[in-house]
Amino acid sequence: MTDFVTVAKVEDIPPGTGHTVEVRGIWIALFNVDGSFYAIDNTCPHAGGPLGEGHLDGCMVECPWHGWRFNVQTGKRSENPAITVTCCPVRIENNQVQVALPEGFK
Ligand code: FES
């Protein structure tokens, strides 16, 4: 069974913005794309940049360190879809944003 953790209220993360949250000791980047929430590993696979602090443009977040761009809905890098970040399940319960870590995610 997937264990969801409450990480924010819906109004804490307005559409078009992102935030870094902690889920069971792991930093996760959480984004609001036009009212839908998506969560990915916060750690950029290039050199470890914090994706949750990146600029969100539509469903694309740009790493603040060197500009790699990732689709927050799929986890794929736009310039090279073979490079991905882990996507995490998100749900809304009673106005709370909840995130779970996928099976095997370290
Ligand atoms: S650390 Fe993210 S682009 Fe370099």
> What's the CA gap between 33 and 45, in Å, rounded?
22
Output the CA 68–ligand 1 centroid distance in Å: 6
Pocket test for ligand 1, best of 44, 51, 60 (most atoms within 8 A of CB): 44
What does the pLDDT look like over 4-63, one tens digit per residue? Answer: 999 999 999 999 999 999 999 999 999 999 999 999 999 999 999 999 999 999 999 999
Spell out the residues 6+ positions from residue 98 whose beta carbon is closer than 8 angstroms to its own: 4, 5, 6, 7, 90, 91, 92
Q: Which atom of ligand 1 is nearest to the CA of 49?
A: 1
Please name each of the domains of the chain with its CATH number: 4-88 (2.102.10.10)
- As to burial, measured by CB atoms within 10 angstroms (0-12 exposed, 13-18 middle, 19+ buried), residue 60 is middle
pTM: 0.95
